């Protein structure tokens, strides 16, 4: 599935019509969440049928395309099913209970195969539902002529701080060819450097949020001094949102380009299976009022949380895995245990604190940068499972290549008959 995006150009009254459609889609989603709260035994199909009830009850809700209402109900069910999955998996902390969406500077409405139409030259799009937003010109770099109309499965209108965008979800598998490089690499992400690989090369940490903090704080102060409900407050809210949007786009652009370069330059990419969510929060143990549940309390780690979030390690890993599938490169996530403590030369454990940036082994005398040593250990762990695909954090293997099916835990270690 490909997602292509273009910016919409229209008149002010057309944008107001899109805002009405976005508000209606949010109302349908929130109503479905409320309906589920009142009737916990319902499922996905009951929520889809509830959209027709809302259309009959509210005249302005009937203006939204029927498939767009169903898409909003699907979004509500997605939040509900994610909550159920987290409860079944017994995820620590909050389980992601579905919440109501509020009025924000951003929002979206999603159409399926009706309610919109492309022009013959694929440069204009017309929305033909009850809101009658009309025809918009699309500004983008992607040519939509390469795809047939039946491949367009969904069209999503997204409102951001700097304008309105349209996203096309196209049923097209992306596969690209590349020449094998016969190289393998292990990557250790960090804060001093964005990452250090097993060859000793480093990539500087861009620190997009840190560089923009001064202007962000200035805008936040000016925004907080404005009167609620005033036009001046709306103006500074938009300025602040634009600045945050720029930072997020810089972070995404860096992660995308860096991940593509890493995948294109190697035939195997190894990295740590880090739980970033646990790294930006700190477990402080149990308190008496939660002894019955036994769940630990987590507080914000105020020392490194902002720097870790600014580095966007999770986003970088997601793009590495995506480009790995596109270009046919093996990506392996290894358990992070002892990658920084073990010596990459002799394998002995060398205890060190986070402030110790140089690895010095007292057993073999090997001296190396801490992150470089960790990257070599990560690559070594990955090469142990070079014939496997889908290594997860626990070290279990999802799929074996060229080998017999692994024995189950019940038969592991038992003697064969006659031996």
Distance CA(374)–CA(377), nearest Å, equals: 5
133 and 200 inside one domain = no
Query: Domain of 136?
Result: 2-170
122 and 87 inside one domain = yes
pLDDT tens-digit series, residues 230-284: 999 999 999 999 999 999 999 999 999 999 999 999 999 999 988 887 787 755 4
Which of 148, 170, 192 is the last residue before a domain boundary?
170
pLDDT tens-digit series, residues 301-323: 667 888 888 899 999 999 999 99
What CATH number has the domain bearing residue 342?
3.30.420
Contact 301, 312 (CB under 8 A): no
18 and 165 inside one domain = yes
> What are the residues facing 203 on neighbouring strands?
195
Closest by CA position to 196, among listed 184, 205, 188: 188
CB-based contacts of 225, cutoff 8 Å, min separation 6: none
Q: What is the pTM of this model?
A: 0.80
188 and 103 inside one domain = no
Q: For position 300, what pLDDT does the model report?
A: 53
| 35 found inside a domain | yes
Mean pLDDT, the chain, integer: 83
Q: Which long-range contacts (CB under 8 A, 24 or more apart) does 12-16 make?
A: 14/133, 14/134, 14/136, 15/164
pLDDT tens-digit series, residues 394-405: 333 333 333 333
| 133 found inside a domain | yes
Distance CA(51)–CA(62), nearest Å, equals: 9
CB-based contacts of 85, cutoff 8 Å, min separation 6: none
pLDDT tens-digit series, residues 44-87: 899 999 999 999 999 889 999 999 999 999 999 999 999 999 89
102 and 194 inside one domain = no
Q: For position 9, what pLDDT does the model report?
A: 94
142 and 250 inside one domain = no
Query: Above 90 in pLDDT, residue 89?
Result: no
Q: For position 127, what pLDDT does the model report?
A: 92
| 341 found inside a domain | yes
The count of domains in the chain is: 2
3 state SS of 367 = strand
Helix axes 44-57, 12-38, angle to 10 degrees: 120
303 and 386 inside one domain = yes
| 218 found inside a domain | no
| 50 found inside a domain | yes
| 215 found inside a domain | no
Helices (H), 4-140: 12-38, 44-57, 66-89
**Mean pLDDT confidence for 330-339:** 88
189 and 111 inside one domain = no
278 and 165 inside one domain = no
pLDDT tens-digit series, residues 188-199: 998 889 999 988
| 415 found inside a domain | no
346 and 291 inside one domain = yes
376 and 246 inside one domain = yes
**Mean pLDDT confidence for 23-36:** 93
Q: What percent of the chain has pLDDT over 70?
A: 87
191 and 163 inside one domain = no
| 52 found inside a domain | yes
pLDDT level of residue 359 (50, 70, 90 thresholds): confident
- Side-chain-side CA neighbours of residue 146 (13 Å): 10
């Amino acid at each position: 599935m490909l997602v292509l995006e273009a910016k919409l150009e229209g008149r002010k009254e057309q944008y107001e019509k899109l805002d009405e459609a976005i508000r209606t889609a949010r109302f349908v989603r929130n109503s479905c969440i409320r309906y589920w709260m009142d009737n916990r035994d319902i499922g996905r199909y009951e929520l889809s049928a509830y959209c027709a009830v809302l259309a009959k009850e509210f005249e302005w809700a009937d203006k939204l395309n029927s498939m767009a209402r169903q898409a909003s109900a699907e979004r509500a069910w997605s939040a509900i099913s994610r909550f159920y999955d987290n409860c079944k998996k017994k995820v620590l902390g909050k389980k992601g209970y579905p919440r109501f969406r509020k009025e924000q500077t951003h929002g979206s409405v999603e159409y399926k195969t009706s309610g919109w139409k492309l022009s013959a030259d694929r440069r204009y799009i017309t929305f033909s539902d009850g809101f009658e937003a009309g025809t918009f010109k699309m500004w983008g770099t992607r040519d939509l002529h390469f795809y047939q109309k039946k491949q367009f499965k969904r069209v999503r209108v997204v409102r951001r701080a700097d304008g309105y965008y349209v996203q096309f979800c196209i049923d097209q598998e992306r596969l690209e060819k590349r020449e094998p490089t016969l190289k393998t690499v292990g990557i250790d992400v960090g804060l001093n450097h964005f990452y250090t690989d097993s060859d000793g090369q480093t990539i500087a940490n861009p620190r997009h949020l840190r560089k923009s903090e001064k202007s962000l704080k200035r805008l936040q102060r000016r925004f907080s001094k404005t009167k609620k409900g005033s036009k001046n407050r709306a103006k500074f809210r938009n300025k602040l949102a634009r600045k945050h949007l720029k930072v997020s786009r810089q972070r995404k652009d860096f992660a995308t380009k860096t991940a593509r370069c890493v995948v294109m330059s190697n035939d195997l990419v190894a990295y740590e299976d880090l739980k970033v969510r646990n790294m930006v929060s700190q477990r402080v143990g149990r308190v008496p009022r939660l002894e019955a549940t036994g769940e630990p309390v987590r507080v914000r780690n105020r020392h490194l949380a902002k720097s870790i979030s600014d580095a966007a390690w999770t986003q970088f890993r997601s793009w590495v895995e995506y480009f790995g599938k596109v270009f046919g490169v093996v990506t392996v996530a290894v358990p992070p245990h002892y990658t920084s403590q073990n010596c990459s030369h002799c394998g002995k454990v060398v205890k060190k604190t986070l402030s110790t940036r140089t690895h010095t082994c007292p057993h073999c005398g090997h001296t190396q940068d801490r992150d470089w040593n960790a990257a070599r250990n990560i690559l070594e762990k990955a090469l142990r499972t070079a014939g496997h695909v889908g290594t997860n954090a626990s070290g279990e293997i999802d799929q074996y290549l060229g080998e017999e099916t692994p024995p189950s835990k019940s038969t592991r270690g038992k003697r064969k008959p006659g031996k």
